[in-house]
Amino acid sequence: MKIETKPLPPGLYLVSTPIGSARDITLRALDVLASADLIAAEDTRTARKLLEIHGVPLGGRQILSHHDHSGMAGVNGLVALMREGKSLAYVSEAGTPMIADPGFELGRAAIAEGIAITAVPGVSAAITALTVTGLPTDQFHFVGFLPTSQAQRQAAIADLRDVPGTLVFYESPKRIDELLNTLAEGLGQGRQAAICRELTKKFEEVRRGTIGALIGGLEDLTRKGEFVVCVGKAGEAEVSEAEIIAALEDALKTMRVKDAATAVAGAHGLPRRQVYQIALELGKKR
Ligand code: SAM
């Protein structure tokens, strides 16, 4: 498919970019990046690489740097250019600008100045994660990164206890254990949850289960790459370990371990691997 270059009306174009697989860029994003008078990026090197991968010509344009530390002076500089009639495409380092990424102040300032804003939508790790967790997607609450201080993290999680939807957290690999433990303390071990690692990339991995079961399996988790953790809402298919054991004991009266695990996992919407481990232990004791 050929990239279409055509003059764009002045304004701000918020262009989403891939979160891993470079080919997750949209054709429209490529058209806008090829056509905008100016490109601004959170990380100019990543942006330049993306343009190179997709053969988007810079044609003498410079990639301007704009990130969280650019401050209002940076925002005002870009707004002035758009007021002069320029079209400006903005890309954050990955995914959708403003979603745990810069762009918010720029967008607000543009709106305040009556400058047109256009979204060029695409990938976001939050939505990508939600769709593969198996947790309800009818209502969800994007939390993003929690504060780093433990007291503030605990307080933030306590405030989320009664949110009537799936919770979506972004987390760095070095704090993933700590996040799950704090979630277990604040929300209980029984909620359904999922750890999504390296989405759309070579080592993509999704683990599903109760918070307690996920903590139990942390031993062999690779703490590298990028993580989203999703947690189901309170009361949503919460199954305690005792309930799983009771159901398995019942099933084991008439079934083999493997079949009992499949039946109980299916009945409770749980990952078969998790239930099979418990069934194996019970089978040994029989
Ligand atoms: N703007 C991005 C978006 O729309 O999702 C988010 C940028 S934020 C600075 C980076 C965080 O997003 C990572 O620490 C991780 O929590 C999450 N993330 C980004 N890419 C990811 C991926 N491929 N797999 C899992 N999580 C990812």
CATH number, domain containing residue 143: 3.30.950.10
Asked if 253 and 215 sit in the same domain, the reply is no
> Mean pLDDT throughout 74-94?
98
Show the domain range for 59: 11-123
Q: How confident is the model at residue 268 (pLDDT cuts 50, 70, 90)?
A: low
pTM: 0.86
Residue having the nearest C-alpha atom to atom 20 of ligand 1 = 19
Ligand 1: centre distance to CA 263 (Å): 35
pLDDT at 91: 98
For residue 5, tell me if it sits in a domain.
no
Higher pLDDT, 85 or 259: 85
Picking from 64, 97, 123, the residue at the C-terminal end of a domain is 123
Backbone φ and ψ for 6, nearest 5 degrees, come out as -150, 155
Structure tokens at 149: 């201080």
For residue 113, the model assigns a pLDDT of 97
- List b or e across 64-97, with b for residues whose CB sees 16 or more CB atoms inside 10 angstroms: bebbeebeeebbeebbebbeeebbbbbbbbbbbb
- Same domain? 245 vs 156: no
Instruction: Specify the pLDDT at position 261.
Output: 87
- How many CA atoms lie less than 13 Å away from 249 in the CB half-sphere? 8
Whether residue 261 sits in one domain with residue 161: no
Distance 127 CA to ligand 1 centre (A): 10
- On whether both 208 and 187 belong to a single domain, the answer is yes
Number of domains in the chain: 3
Residue 41: the pLDDT is 98
Q: Ligand 1, closest atom to CA 95?
A: 4
Q: Average pLDDT, whole number, for the chain?
A: 94
pLDDT in tens, 10-25: 999 999 999 999 999 9
Q: What is the pLDDT of residue 270?
A: 67
- Residue-wise pLDDT for 174-188, tens only, equals 999 999 999 999 999
Q: How confident is the model at residue 279 (pLDDT cuts 50, 70, 90)?
A: confident
Q: Identify whether 6 is part of a domain.
A: no
For residue 142, how far is its CA from the centre of ligand 1 (angstroms)? Answer: 12
Q: How far is the CA of 101 from the centre of ligand 1 (A)?
A: 9
Shared domain for 174 and 85, answered yes or no, is: no
Span 216-262, pLDDT tens digits: 999 999 999 999 999 999 886 567 778 788 888 988 989 999 988 88
Using CB distances shorter than 6 Å, the residues near ligand 1 are 19-20, 92, 94-96, 99-101, 124-126, 170-172, 196, 198-201, 226-228
The confidence score (pLDDT) of residue 57 equals 95
Among 15, 131, 167, 170, name the best residue to mutate to test ligand 1's pocket (greatest count of ligand atoms within 8 A of Cβ).
170
Cα separation, 215 vs 183, in Å, equals: 10
